Structure 1
Amino acid sequence: MDLGLILAAAGIITLIFKKLKQPLVLGYIIAGLLVGPHFALLPTVIETANITIWAEIGVIFLLFSLGLEFSFKKLVKVGGASSIMAFFEVVVMLVLGYLTGKLLGWSTMDSIFLGGILSISSTTIIIRAFDELGVKSQRFARLVFGVLIVEDLVAILLMVLLSTLAVSQQFAGTEMLSAVLKLAFFLVVWFLGGIFLIPTFLRRASKLMNDETLLIVSLALCLLMVILAAQVGFSPALGAFIMGSILAETTKAEKIEHLISSVKDLFGAIFFVSVGMLINPAVILEYAAPIAIITLVTIVGKVVSITGGGLVAGQGLKTSLKSGMSVSQIGEFSFIIATLGLTLKVTSEFLYPVAVAVSAITTFSTPYMIKYSEPLHQAIEKMLPNRWKASLNEYSSGAQTINTTSDWQLVLKSYVLNLVVYSVIIIALVLLSSQYLSPFLSNLISAPDWANMATIVITLLAMAPFLWALVMHHPQKEAQARIWANRNYRSLIIVLSFFKIGVAIFFIAFLLDRFLSVQVALVAGLGILLLLAFFSKKIQEFYIRIENRFLSNLNARELHEESKKHHSLTPWDVHLTSFTISPFSEAVGKTLVELQVREKYGMNVAVIERGDQTIMPPTRNERIFPGDVLYVFGSDTQMEAFRQFIETERPEEAVDSEKEEIRLQKLVLRPESFLVHMSIRDSGVREKTKGLIVGIEKKGQRILNPDSELVFEEGDIVWIVGSPSRIKKLHEMESTSG
């Protein structure tokens, strides 16, 4: 009866909301209000305990589907600008939420949870609004998507920290740090283990799977991770999110997302209806003033914090403001955080309906905020002094800096990454051994010493490939070899090597100390390390197989999508293939007519993809930039010849061991300049600055990507992407010629 009542109310109300073009989430909440205990005109749900269980399942599937859209690889690819903006927003809203709660006279715990509720924007509502307004392809929308990805992970972290705080009832720094480290440890373990095992399992079982079995297996994996997360002390929702993010890296991700959508929609509807059932209209009326204040704080705080973060990241006023106006609401994660406070019995009952009311108001306002962001930007620009606008534009141009990576950066980054990853794996193996393997063998083998010895041997065999990788594996061999060639730095490489050996001995001793004395553990650890060195070749082969399996699974989705791009015309034995242009490629900076692709290789460049821009078909004067994806049409032989050329690096672009900064800078041509009356090609600017002329302002006319035959004239403003030091030398040559 209760389920029928809930779905009937949800169905009718959401049809009305669909007609009114309003978010369905709000319809579910209003449906819950109508069938809840605080509205007497309609039949009321009787067994609220059952509804609570269904709502918890709804949260699990909601987080599972968010994980499928999340992907940790997307997080790695999120630009620095989005990360800075997300950081600004979360910190500002946490502080504003806490201060607002305290000013309203609320308890410390209510104020802290209010900060958490206000700090996370609604992914569902923003994506829907972008779709309806047709702005998904705009630059600010891409920044907002990056902000939302970072916020998803921050929300998970907040749930863990708020749970820890609720239990301890005080700001205990050590407990907070312990909670964060515990979360980081299990995230790494689950991600590495999941990527290694699950894609392989799905691939090998794919012949046995139809839509039904894939749905059941996906739900089973989700709920198994939910159980695992609950067992180690995290919320079930975290486990669902992690499993979703693991499956997001597989080739079945889109299929699973499609299959799970109906289940998610059903239980998600129950969750949002249960949210509405907890709303007491009397409480909302009682707290109307706080709701209005918090709504204002949410909208203004989010707009200002995101806009400020965007300006600091050098994104310009227009892009930053439009981004800020887009995220001025709270949504599904805010409900989950509010529910967490109620479940842990640390927040007042009024906080939940207040949060829902604020969410409803800000959700209604979101499309209008996005729509009116452009007029607001124009109004602000008119009010800003010209000096401020010039400073903002100059800062924005200067912030678009590209840094080449030095050998030391590459080596140290690989050392730190390897140390973290292998340390987490080894610690996980030791903990699994002591918690599960040792008790199992103790029951199986009556002699305790023999049981301990068997545990040590089995665990060491499992640890061996990762201990070898920790000590011997060097992903950046070429960079390390270049550093080693400089005698001044050899001692540092040796110190790093001995440090890794010391860490490996520590981990072996860490294992042995659980079963033997400290002295024996240290001596045995050194002996075992020597034994591992003796069998280094066999262990290396085994490790490489493990690494290849992991990388194959990790990149399976991208490889699968890439394979779809290769289309062939069998009778002519030709096909369409894509090439990504390296920053050091011989082709960079040249036009298609200069490359002579058709004349030299008998092929055609059909399409050029540059970020979100698709150039189809490209003209002969189209210039090639780093990161461009060229789609070329030809035979295998022609493709191979073109590949060898495109992957050839320019001699002068060899990687330097020092960091070199690349900026966009301008050069104003004076009457006495030696460049006046010379063409771009004859001027030698590219060779002198190792830069690229990307634009020229000529008598008020702006020319982007000018032709190499264009002639410089007095008063031209030349925009060059290159090294500031080299462009400075060009300035000095100008002065000398004067």
Structure 2
Amino acid sequence: MVHLPPLITDLGLLLTAAGVTTLIFKRLKQPLVVGYIIAGMLIGPHFAHLPTIKEIQNIQLWAEIGVIFLLFSLGLEFSFKKLAKVGGASSIMALVEIVIMLLLGYLTGQLLGWSTMDSIFLGGILCISSTTIIIRAFEELGIKSQRFAGLVFGVLIVEDLVAILLMVLLSTLAVSQQFAGTEMLAAVLKLGFFLSVWFLGGIFLIPTFLKWASKLMNDETLLIVAIALCFLMVKLATEAGFSPALGAFIMGSILAETTKAEKIEHLVGPVKNLFGAIFFVSVGILINPEMILKYAGPIALISCITILGKVFSVAGGGLLAGQGLKASVQAGMSLPQIGEFSFIIATLGLSLKVTSDFLYPIAVAVSALTTFTTPYMIRFSEPLYVFVESVLPERWKALLNRYSTGAYTINTTSDWKMVLKSYVRNMVVYAIVIIAITMLADRYLYSFIVANAEKGIRADIWTTIVTLVLIAPFLWALARHHPHKEAHSRLWANRKYHSVIIVLEFARAGVAVLICVVLLNQFFSTWVAILAGVGIIALLALFSEKVQNFYTRIEDSFYSNLNDRQISDDHQIAPWGAHLTSFLISPSSAIIGGTLEELQIREKFGVNIAVIERGNRTIMPPTRYERIYPYDKIYVFGVDENIESFRLFVLDESPPGVNMKAVKEDVKLQKLVVSSSSPLLNKSIRESGIRELTDGLIVGIERAGKKMMNPDSKVAFVEGDILWIVGKPSRIKLLEEPAMKPTVTEA
């Protein structure tokens, strides 16, 4: 008789239970995650009258692989560029929520008489919302294009990053068993350094590799390569002392910047769903129902604190960020649950043996309860806003409105600000790259030279020479590169700034010399190292043109890889509740074949089509004679209500197999102030030539506190007007030329 290994039997039982609960919960229109957890409880060791998993340890191993794939998929949806685009509003909301929930979780644990570590981990568990649940709920309710959804997605992105940081900090705290500020700071700096190195190196190398191998790849090979890269980064992260989940997340976020991102996400989806199901079922296996009954009181208390704390903290953060009452309330009502990362943090406490046995099932029970309420909370958000607005005193509403409008006040970006910001950013980036190259050379290059060529002092000298050659372009950039040449030239043209600029230039060169001295001082005396360092920088200045050309190729390659997949931020926050979002036009759409003039979209729906993407072409801004074709991707500017009306009219399900093209143009909402010396002054929109000069479309004008959405082309500009333009920043920056004095700042 053939013997069937217990692992196969256990997996069959697990997937059967997961499949049955999936069908039941789909029928009941409830979150599948809750079904998986219930399935795990039923086949776990605590239900004697049902088939039971025999080897839980093997299932836990598969569950760890599930965590890796969950974090890899989250990384594919994350993208560092998305983080840069969510703006200050989402960041403020996320940070306010995280700080308040960490504090509430800790105080709740202390109130219940728990240990310090249990209370700290409870705070960490409660502060991260469920990305999977929220995205699924938004898709089912058809509200992904609304403005508050953009705020929620921004908060989720920041939360995911903070969750990674929390895992590192909680691990450090668990090992030291005390709050050691120095160790925490070292852990944060170490995490920041490795994140930067992996991101910079990954963006430089991985897209280049995928381009080179693209002709050799079909779906199967791309899936294998993507998973291989994921596990390679898992190994690197583990070697550096971080968790495997962090490595998976980082590789996902790197691949999110490539043109293959959507394809990889599609291919990895079934694998993630399989192992994710195993992970969530394994969560249920560890739950003892008796423990839940025993701690029913704390579970109910923590669930209420989670819901109320998240609603008020997120909504309060939104008001603090100037997002208005409606968007803040809707965002707060969308985030009152905990999910995947909370399980992972709870599992971390168990694996490190620093939390009590009851914390894990309590966290899972709270997650199940709060997840169940999510769709109802989202549906109830608008009625709640209407109620709150009706009971608020008029004075408070006027104050909130003034504060919300004031949050969009435009600050002129001075040349000094641009230059100093670029100096600081470049010094940090180049220092990280130089340190990383030096560390790699010391660890691997030296061993290679000793094993294959030289030994003793000669091996040291050769290692130093090769290292200096590798870091030479970045040393030159640190000492000489000016990313904002125009701003730097304008400052230098003013004599009173000469001395300050000279000091800055010498400071940059001094930092480059210092790096060389530190590197050379390992093998030579201090004075010899100083003289050699000065000589190296002087040599780089002598051959400046050649080194610059080499550095420029490196920089161009990096930015080319970074911008290959320009992710449009569908949730860019704009003033007055208006925002920019995008739609993919299906062949069955009612607007196919019509020109913009014929369709009268602006007149009928109150929205503006600012950009049309067609294959690899970007039409910006489209003329009134431009027609709409199948699979066009259009960018629409307007308020939630108008966009929703337009969506219902134009948007159908995307046909299967459609490969949405990556955005090739960086389309953003920009601000422009009309000054007293502006050549735009007293000219109409049509006369100003802004459309022809910048390929930009003016979608709003704010004048003396009054707002004009989608202004007529005959409107003339007056001093102090705030213009809102949708377009490509590189083109709109032409308005900074001497012929066009107004200052542009990014929204």
**Cα distance between partner residues in 2 of 1:665 and 1:189:** 47
Contact 2:703 2:720 in 1 (8 A): no
- Cα distance in 2 for residues equivalent to 1:88 and 1:175: 24
8 Å Cα contact 1:402/1:663 also seen in 2: no
For residue 523 of structure 1, what is the aligned residue in structure 2? Answer: 531
Query: Structure 1 residues 666, 270: CA separation in 2 closer, same or farther (over 3 Å shift)?
Result: closer
Distance in 2, Cα, partners of 1:559 & 1:643:
25
Residue 662 of structure 2 corresponds to which residue in structure 1?
A: none
Q: Deviations over 1:460-492 (max 9, x none)?
A: 110001001111110100001111111122211
Question: Residues 226 and 264 of structure 2 are in contact (CA less than 8 Å); yes or no, is this contact kept in structure 1?
Answer: yes
1:21 equivalent in structure 2 = 29
Q: Which residue of 1 aligns with 2:692?
A: 645
Equivalent residue for 1:122, pick from 123, 127, 130: 130
2:39 matched to 1:40?
no
Q: Cα 1:9–1:430, aligned 2, differ >3 Å: closer, same or farther?
A: same
User: Which runs of structure 2 are paired with 1:475-554 in the superposition (5 Å)?
Assistant: 475-554=483-562
- Other-structure match for 1:164: 172
Distance in 2 between residues matched to 1:693 and 1:240, nearest whole Å? 39
Equivalent residue runs for 1:318-337 within 5 Å: 318-337=326-345
In structure 2, how many angstroms separate the alpha carbons of the residues matched to 1:25 and 1:565? 30
Which amino acid counterpart does residue 383 of structure 1 have in structure 2?
A: V
- Pairs within 5 Å for 1:215-614: 215-558=223-566, 604-605=625-626, 609-611=635-637
Q: Secondary structure at the match of 2:565?
A: helix
Cα deviations by residue, 1:338-359 (Å, 9 ceiling, x for unpaired): 0111111111111000000000
Contact kept, 8 Å, 2:418 with 2:487, in 1: the verdict is yes
2:203 corresponds in structure 1 to 195
The change in CA–CA distance for 1:59 and 1:691 in structure 2 (over 3 A counts) is: closer
* RMSD of equivalent CA atoms: 3.2
Report the Cα distance in structure 1 between the residues aligned to 2:91 and 2:703, rounded to whole angstroms. Answer: 23
- Opposite residue 178 of structure 1, the aligned amino acid is A
Distance 1:134 1:392, change over 3 A: same
Equivalent AA in structure 2 for residue 485 of structure 1:
A
1:43 match: secondary structure: coil
Counterparts in 2 of 1:24 and 1:412: CA distance versus 1, 3 Å? same
Q: Distance in 1 between matches of 2:399 and 2:559?
A: 45
Q: Distance in 2 between matches of 1:509 and 1:81?
A: 43
> Structure 2 vs 1, CA of residues 494 and 565 (structure 1 numbering), >3 Å: closer, same or farther?
farther
**Counterpart Cα distance in 2 of 1:123 and 1:23:** 13
Q: Note if 1:95 corresponds to 2:116.
A: no
Q: Structure 1: which amino acid aligns with 2:162?
A: V
How high is the TM-score relative to the length of structure 2?
A: 0.79
Query: 1:305-348, CA deviations, whole angstroms, 9 ceiling, x for partnerless residues?
Result: 00100111111111111110100000000000101111111111
**Native 8 Å contact 1:251 1:560 kept in 2:** no
Among candidates 184, 187, 192, match of residue 179 of structure 1: 187
What per-residue deviation string (whole Å, max 9, x for no partner) do you get for residues 426-450 of structure 1?
0001111112212222233344121
Which residue in 1 is equivalent to 2:112? 104
Work out the percentage of aligned pairs sharing the same amino acid: 65
Alpha-carbon shift at residue 22 of structure 1 (Å): 0.7
Q: Shift of residue 493 of structure 1?
A: 1.2
Partner amino acid for 2:625? N
Q: Match for 2:717 among 682, 686, 707?
A: 686
CA distance in 1, matches of 2:312, 2:568: 41
Deviations 1:229-278 (A, max 9, x none): 00000000000000000000111101100110111111111111110011
Q: Distance in 1 between matches of 2:358 and 2:264?
A: 38
In structure 2, relative to structure 1, the CA distance for the partners of 1:43 and 1:452 (3 Å cut) is: same
User: Does structure 1 conserve the Cα–Cα contact (< 8 Å) formed by 2:422 and 2:484?
Assistant: yes
Assess if the C-alpha contact under 8 Å between 1:65 and 1:257 holds in 2. Answer: yes
Deviations 1:118-138 (A, max 9, x none): 000000001111111121111
- Once residues 48 and 314 of structure 1 are traced to their aligned partners in structure 2, the CA distance between those partners, rounded to angstroms, is 50
Deviation per CA, 1:545-577, whole angstroms, max 9, x where unpaired? 11111111111112999xx999xxxxxxxxx99
Letter in 2 for 1:604: Y
Asked if 2 retains the 8 angstrom alpha-carbon contact of 1:401 and 1:663, the reply is: no
Q: Is the 8 A contact 1:398 1:664 kept in 2?
A: no
TM-score, normalised via structure 1 length = 0.80
Contact 1:484 1:490 survives alignment (8 Å): yes
Aligned-residue offset at 1:494:
1.1
Cα displacement (A) at 1:648: 9.1
Deviations 1:645-670 (A, max 9, x none): 323999xx9xxxxxxxx9763479xx
Q: Match for residue 665 of structure 1?
A: 704
**Which residue identity is paired with 2:87?**
G
CA spacing shift, 1:612–1:168, aligned 2, 3 Å: farther
Q: How many residue pairs were aligned?
A: 625
Provide the C-alpha distance between the structure 1 equivalents of 2:690 and 2:391, rounded to a whole number of angstroms: 53
Bigger-Rg structure (1/2): 1
**Alignment check: 8 A CA contact 2:416 2:491 kept:** yes
Mapped contact 1:137–1:612 kept (Cα < 8 A): no
Structure 1 residues 227, 649: CA separation in 2 closer, same or farther (over 3 Å shift)? closer
Please tell me the residue identity of whatever aligns with 2:704: Q
**Between 108-117 and 489-498, the greater mean CA deviation after superposition:** 489-498
* Alignment equivalent of 1:50, drawn from 30, 33, 58: 58
Secondary structure in structure 1 of the residue aligned to 2:704: strand
70-79 or 520-529, larger mean C-alpha shift: 520-529
Contact 1:397–1:664 (8 Å) recurs in 2: no
Q: 1:1-47: per-residue Cα shift (whole Å, max 9, x none)?
A: 11111111111111111111111111111111011111111111111
Rounded Cα–Cα distance in structure 2 between residues aligned with 1:663 and 1:313 = 20
Q: Which runs of 4+ in 1 moved over 6 A?
A: 612-617
Separation in structure 2 between the aligned mates of residue 517 and residue 146 of structure 1, nearest angstrom: 52
Tell me the distance in 2 between the aligned counterparts of 1:429 and 1:446.
21
Amino acid paired to 1:262: P
Q: 1:299 to 1:603 in 2, by over 3 A?
A: closer
Q: Secondary structure at the match of 1:687?
A: coil
Q: Distance in 1 between matches of 2:93 and 2:47?
A: 42
Question: Residue 603 of structure 2 aligns with which residue?
Answer: none
SS at match of 1:41: coil
Q: Secondary structure at the match of 1:686?
A: coil
1:402 to partner: Cα distance: 2.5
1: CA distance between counterparts of 2:15 and 2:623? 63
Q: 1:207 to 1:602 in 2, by over 3 A?
A: closer
- Given the superposition, is the C-alpha separation of residues 41 and 163 from structure 1 closer, same or farther in structure 2, using an over 3 Å criterion? same
Distance 1:535 1:560, change over 3 A: farther
- 5+ unaligned residues in a row in structure 2: which ranges? 1-8, 570-582, 586-594, 597-607, 611-621, 629-633, 650-667, 672-688, 726-741
Shifted more, 9-18 versus 370-379: the winner is: 370-379
Give the corresponding residue for 1:707.
Answer: none
